[in-house]
Amino acid sequence: MYNCIAPKLPLCRRVNGGYLGTGNQIHPTAIIDYDHVVIGDFCIIEKNVVIDKNSIIGNYVIIREGAVIGSEGFEFRRIAGEIVPVVHLGGIIIGDNAVIGPRVCIDKSVLGEYTEVGASADIRSEVQIGHGIKIGCSTTILDGTMVGGYAKIGNQVTIGRHCSIADGLNLVDGAVIPDSAIITRDMKNTAGNREDS
């Protein structure tokens, strides 16, 4: 029932009318829903990038080859004995000066919410950003890391290569996560100690 009703609800904020700023370099193979996407000024969008509707891209953003912005999130519900995918109707906001690496996938959020990547964030190659995540400013996420849905990552956080961050976690400003770490609890201080939320 949700999948039928939700698209009609006013709380599902959408980008109504696209906007393309000036000075952008967009490769002709990029697939962009120009009617429902906002792109700021002086962005670089490389070949085979996909930017789906309800995406808002800031100024001086670089999106590398093969990245997907606004893919369907991974969420299922069991209804009357059947497993049903939940339709995602939210969007993506990418702040000014952010860099999105090759083959990064950023899922759109549910309903009217946005998955957010802060200004000057650096997301390296083949990172998976789940739905509803909030990534702070000047945060770096290195290659091959997976971040579960609804996680909140602070400002100036560094996450190493091939890490796994569980759904709904909070990482404090300035946290440093080493390569190949599996994070299952909130990180409340910058000394590397993990504590329960």
Which residues are designated catalytic? 131
Three-state DSSP at 115 gives: strand
Residue type, 51: I
Please list, residue by residue across 7-40, b when 16 or more beta carbons sit within 10 angstroms of its beta carbon and e when fewer do: eeeeebeebeeeeeeeebebeeebebeeebbbbb
Residue type, 84: V
